[in-house]
Amino acid sequence: MQNNNISGLIIGQNTIYLDKVASTNDYLRELLSNFKPLAEGTAILAEEQFRGKGQRGSTWVSEPGKNLTTSILLKPHFLAIEQQFALSATVAIALVKWLKCKTELPVTVKWPNDIYVDNKKIAGILIENKLKGNKIEASIVGIGVNINQVNFDTASTITSLSNLTNKADYVIKDLAVELFASIQKEYNTLFTHSWQPQLNYYNELLFWKDQEKPFLIAGEKKIGMIKTVGIDGQLQVLIDDKLQKFNIKEISHLIS
């Protein structure tokens, strides 16, 4: 293990609260671009995020004051560049474990980093890494979780904590503290035990794993079975008795 002491790290100990921001990830990146060092574990928590970013160039639309939108600065110098997906897996595990304390419904990870409760999306993760040499200098971990919002344009595939529990008055700041603690625990596990155990657990949580399901590949519908995700972040799917590997944007789940 490399010499990178994170024993004193407390995620969210330095939290910057914003009433309104375009993107918490962009805001945190701008702070990083300043010459003054920013402590690892610094978090941005926004009341309203009006241009949040998701995977595949999508946007994260959130009603003002209703949901948890945050970005966290981590500095996983102990990970090599080729191991960076382990951080995404670790954050996903933290979200799943936290949500499992809120609902008895199954909580899974839809590759690469959407969190589903039953068959509906409740949260998303977007990690942007700053690389230096063969190491990760800094990671901006963006997270959006649907909390008190109950109406969505695509209601058949989106849900929230309020929809799941019929409770509409969650205190976002209190939930953020809980989530930060869950991420802290899993991040410490990643540091202490390296990436393999975290990747193994991530694979246990995969949405649609070992089930024959429809996917969209190069504009064509295919039936496949998710088998695993490697440390390179590629999704491995069994299609026509052949195991194929896919990067983001090369394959999509066809959820009805």
31-80 pLDDT, tens digit each: 998 867 899 999 999 999 987 655 545 555 678 899 999 999 999 999 99
Which of these three, 187, 204, 221, is where a domain ends? 204
In terms of domains, do 197 and 233 share one? no
Query: Same domain, yes or no, for 108 and 222?
Result: no
Burial class of residue 109 (count of CB atoms within 10 Å of its CB; 0-12, 13-18, 19+): buried
Q: Is 91 helix (H, G, I), strand (E, B) or coil?
A: helix
Q: What are the Cα distances from residue 192, in Å, to 47, 72, 79, 172?
A: 34, 20, 12, 30
Domain co-membership, 228 together with 245: yes
pLDDT tens digits for 81-138?
999 999 999 999 999 999 999 999 999 999 999 999 999 999 999 999 999 888 899 9
Strand partners, 252: 216
* pLDDT above 60 (res 2): no
Mean pLDDT value across the chain: 92
Supply the pLDDT for residue 5.
45
Report the number of secondary-structure helices (H) and strands (E) in the chain: 5, 14
- pTM above 0.85? yes
Residues 188 and 81 in one domain: yes
Same domain, 110 and 64: yes
**Domain that residue 224 falls in:** 212-253
Whether 148 shows a pLDDT value over 50: the answer reads yes
Residue range 21-31, pLDDT digits in tens: 999 999 999 99
Instruction: Provide the pLDDT for residue 3.
Output: 36
Cα–Cα dist 226/230, whole Å: 12
| CATH at residue 58 | 3.30.930.10
